[in-house]
């Protein structure tokens, strides 16, 4: 049987890694797929740029349209990123009857509904394992391995840059800005790090995970995002003293009212396995009703870890090239006519516990006023730490952990607390999750 011909859009880090894996493991991949897989065409912006892979036997062009229009190419691998040109090329490839494999989380999170509808109509596959958590096969795990479960919730460290920063702040007592600069020097963070540190990248990935976990349309615009730029080394230290660690989590949960979809810094008990995922590594914790909690851990980025997921998708596509399109695994795990209309909850309707830190005047009655406000809003306190004033300051740090409460009630309480004359500046609020199996 003739090998399947593949075209790659983008020969950067992941594109080069994909070529390397396909070439190095060609024999093993052919055994798994049932046919050989060869890259015959590739598109690259700079034709003269040094590559991390061998391009022998590959026709390279600066025009990506040549790849998606080539009649001999059966599978297009989209690795150029962004959601404008990439969307146009993917839609054109689908129109031409080609299967698509992509590592582009923004493309899927923003335009996946449209792309999957077009693919369904043409009877082709769009595979996107590499779009979430790099080399961790989390999409396949939820869509196929956990298909017999009702997914109750999942929580993930799905951005390595943010996790690296928080790990360094905890382990070495460094400030956010200092670690961010190092992350940029190491290539973990872009010159403009907003997508990573403000949670946008994680929200793209969480949107995809929520869709395949709960069978809902992709709704990136409804995801709540909060970054880690306001986390101080003091917050990291106080969390440790209380038996918690701060992680930048993506959390989605099915509730009676709808689906939670949120990315924010989160205190989690230090004994949880996911609390001990450090550096640039990723991890996703999934709670299913039958299996209970399962944890998926590995490299969330990098040339060959991401290429591992890309190639796995290519193998899957090759395996089903001759199968009935109606009987393939659906793009979002559920049949298109069976997607749920469960609403995405507004953040103010989410229930969670909280870590609060505030600067207070060191005088009698201050704590009584704060606890009265919390009590009036139905917020009970689990723990309090008061740090004495340092260096002659007239202000002390007060740290509180609360029990679970609606975000709306906490917003109202914080507004009232910040209006007290005895409170200096803003109250720092970090959400808390126990991540316990039910």
Catalytic residue ranges: 205
CB 86 within 8 A of CB 78: yes
Q: DSSP for 117-136?
A: HHHHHHT--EE-GGGSSTT-
- Identify the CA nearest to 381 among candidates 408, 355, 349: 355
The span from the CA of 12 to the CA of 27, in Å, is 24
CB 265 within 8 A of CB 246: yes
Half-sphere exposure of 362 (CA within 13 A, CB side): 11
Ramachandran assignment for 39, one of left (phi > 0), alpha (psi -120 to 50 degrees), beta (any other): beta
Strand partners, 249: 264
- Identify the CA nearest to 313 among candidates 93, 125, 173, 157: 125
Q: Is the dihedral of CA 266, 270, 273, 276 positive or negative?
A: positive
Helix axes 26-33, 303-319, angle to 10 degrees: 30
CB 160 within 8 A of CB 280: yes
């Amino acid at each position: 049987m003739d090998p399947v011909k593949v075209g790659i859009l983008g020969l950067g880090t992941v594109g080069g890694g994909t070529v390397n894996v396909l070439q190095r493991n060609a024999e093993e991949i052919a055994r798994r797929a049932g046919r050989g897989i060869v890259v015959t065409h590739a598109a690259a912006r700079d034709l003269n740029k040094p590559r991390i892979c061998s391009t022998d036997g590959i026709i390279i062009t600066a025009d990506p349209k040549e790849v998606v229009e080539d009649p001999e190419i059966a599978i297009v691998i989209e690795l150029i990123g962004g959601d404008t040109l990439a969307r146009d090329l993917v839609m054109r490839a689908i129109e031409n009857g080609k299967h698509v494999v992509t590592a582009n989380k923004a493309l899927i999170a923003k335009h996946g509904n449209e792309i999957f509808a077009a693919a369904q109509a043409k009877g082709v596959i769009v595979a996107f394992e590499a779009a979430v958590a790099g080399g961790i096969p989390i999409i396949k795990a939820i869509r196929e391995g956990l298909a017999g479960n009702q997914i109750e919730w999942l929580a993930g460290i799905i951005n390595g840059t943010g996790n690296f920063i928080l790990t360094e702040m905890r382990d070495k007592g460094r400030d956010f800005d200092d670690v961010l600069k190092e992350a940029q020097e190491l290539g973990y963070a872009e010159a403009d790090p907003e997508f990573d540190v403000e949670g946008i990248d994680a929200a793209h990935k969480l949107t995809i995970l929520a869709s395949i976990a709960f069978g809902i349309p992709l709704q990136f615009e409804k995801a709540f995002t909060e970054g880690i730029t306001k986390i101080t080394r003091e917050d990291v230290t106080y969390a440790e003293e209380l038996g918690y660690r701060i992680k930048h989590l993506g959390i989605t949960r099915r509730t009676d009212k709808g689906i939670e979809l949120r990315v924010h810094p989160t205190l989690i008990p230090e004994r949880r396995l996911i609390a001990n995922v450090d550096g640039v590594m990723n991890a996703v914790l999934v709670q299913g009703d039958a299996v209970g909690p399962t944890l998926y851990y590995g490299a969330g980025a990098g040339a060959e870890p991401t290429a591992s997921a890309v190639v796995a998708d290519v193998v899957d596509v090759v395996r089903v090239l001759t199968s009935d399109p109606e009987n393939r695994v659906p793009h979002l795990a559920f049949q298109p006519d069976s997607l749920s209309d469960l609403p995405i909850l507004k953040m103010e309707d989410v229930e969670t516990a909280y870590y609060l830190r505030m600067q207070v005047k060191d005088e009698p009655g201050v704590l009584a006023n704060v606890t009265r406000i919390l009590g009036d809003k139905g917020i009970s306190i689990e723990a309090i730490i008061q740090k004495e004033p340092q260096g002659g300051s007239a202000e002390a740090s007060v740290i509180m952990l609360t029990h679970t409460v609606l975000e709306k009630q906490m917003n109202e309480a914080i507004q009232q607390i910040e209006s007290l004359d005895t409170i200096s500046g803003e109250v720092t609020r970090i959400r808390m999750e126990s991540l316990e199996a039910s």
